[in-house]
Amino acid sequence: MTVIRDLTNATPATREWYALPEHIRTAAEAIAGPPRPMTHIEILLAVGMAIANEQEAAKRGER
């Protein structure tokens, strides 16, 4: 089941977090825990972006 969140008043970091693919958000949460106050979601975003970047590098054969 897909949950559609109302991001009208969300911060840019929150919007970016939910824009990541679900499998990346799940992996980031496994490392850093579920979303908490905004400072934590910024950490989740950083971890998720790092995972996404690693996946892209692997696709290009860099890893």
Mean pLDDT over residues 56-62, rounded?
88
For residue 53, being part of any structural domain is answered with: yes
The pair of structure tokens assigned to 59 is 């696709």
How many domains is the chain partitioned into structurally? 1
Tell me, what's the pLDDT at 55? 93
For residue 19, being part of any structural domain is answered with: yes
For residue 45, being part of any structural domain is answered with: yes
| Chain center to CA of 36 | 13
For residue 26, being part of any structural domain is answered with: yes
26-58 pLDDT per residue, tens: 999 898 888 766 578 878 888 899 899 999 999
For residue 31, being part of any structural domain is answered with: yes
For residue 27, being part of any structural domain is answered with: yes
For residue 1, being part of any structural domain is answered with: no
Domain containing residue 39 = 12-59
Instruction: Tell me which DSSP letter residue 60 carries.
Output: T
Tell me, what's the pLDDT at 33? 85
Residue type, 1: M
